[in-house]
A and B are shown apart, each in its own frame.
Chain A
Amino acid sequence: NAGVMQNPRHLVRRRGQEARLRCSPMKGHSHVYWYRQLPEEGLKFMVYLQKENIIDESGMPKERFSAEFPKEGPSILRIQQVVRGDSAAYFCASSPIEGDRSTDTQYFGPGTRLTVL
């Protein structure tokens, strides 16, 4: 059973360009979470999605950031007109349909490291 997949692992963009980060959850998982980790900090929640629905985007910046999880295909985190402050590691996590009743554990992907020049 493959784990959470994220690509690309590393992404370099120049200021003003768009960044697209992809996440494929574990097989059987339909809940996807995106987190951002700035250098030397803990992860911070951005958005929670189920298939075709954004459930909670309270941690997402209001401008330039968007997320989707289509019926088919991976979840996408899109950052438009990137700025240097967007440089960070972006992690995706997934959890089962009926959360594991003992842990409700989220399983993380390897992350995408975005560098904005």
Chain B
Amino acid sequence: AQKITQTQPGMFVQEKEAVTLDCTYDTSDPSYGLFWYKQPSSGEMIFLIYQGSYDQQNATEGRYSLNFQKARKSANLVISASQLGDSAMYFCAMREPIIQGAQKLVFGQGTRLTINP
């Protein structure tokens, strides 16, 4: 079974600073995918970024980048120039195959990020 670990229950960062949210994973599958989702206080789940295990480069999406270290089995999310609107819960997730080519997501416990003005 695959497992996702987020060791930071909460983080406090000053506005405009960069922040790194940690995520480590455990899997025996050679092919896997890692996701980050943001959950603001309103509750919805917002997809941020994806990294495939065979991707040659680290994924980037605007202010979000993924520091993917395959040997260490880590996929940390980096948010540059943090903004007040970045305050939210952040979840790291890994896809786990289901039959018929589909996949379910296995989530970590989440990190609550608070951006201070």
Contacts and interface: CB of A to CB of B under 8 A. Distances in A.
The answer to whether A binds B is: yes
Contact of B104 (A33, A102, A105): A33
B105 A45 contact: yes
Interface of A: prevailing SS: strand
Given A108-B45, A111-B44, A113-B43, A99 B105 contact: no
B98 interface: yes
A111 B45 CA distance: 8
A48 B44 contact: no
State the main secondary structure of chain B at its contact with A.
strand
A42 B103 contact: no
B28 interface: no
Given A103-B33, A104-B95, A55 B44 contact: no
Interface residues of A, number: 29
Contacts of B37: 108
Contacts of A109: 44
A67 to B, nearest CB: 14
A110 interface: yes
Contacts of A64: none
Contact of B108 (A42, A91, A95, A110): A42
Contact of B44 (A42, A104, A110): A110
A59 B91 CA distance: 19
Task: Report the interface size class on chain B.
Answer: 20 to 34
A55 B100 contact: yes
Contact of A108 (B44, B52, B106): B44
Contacts of A35: 105, 107
A89 interface: yes
Interface in A18-63: 31, 33, 35, 41-45, 48, 50, 55-56, 59
A34 B108 CA distance: 17
Task: Pick the 4 closest A-B CB pairs, nearest first.
Answer: A42-B107, A108-B45, A103-B50, A45-B104
Given A45-B106, A59-B104, A111-B45, 20 more contacts: A33-B105, A42-B107, A42-B110, A43-B105, A44-B107, A55-B98, A56-B102, A91-B45, A99-B102, A102-B52, A103-B33, A104-B33, A104-B95, A105-B50, A106-B105, A108-B37, A108-B46, A108-B47, A110-B42, A111-B44
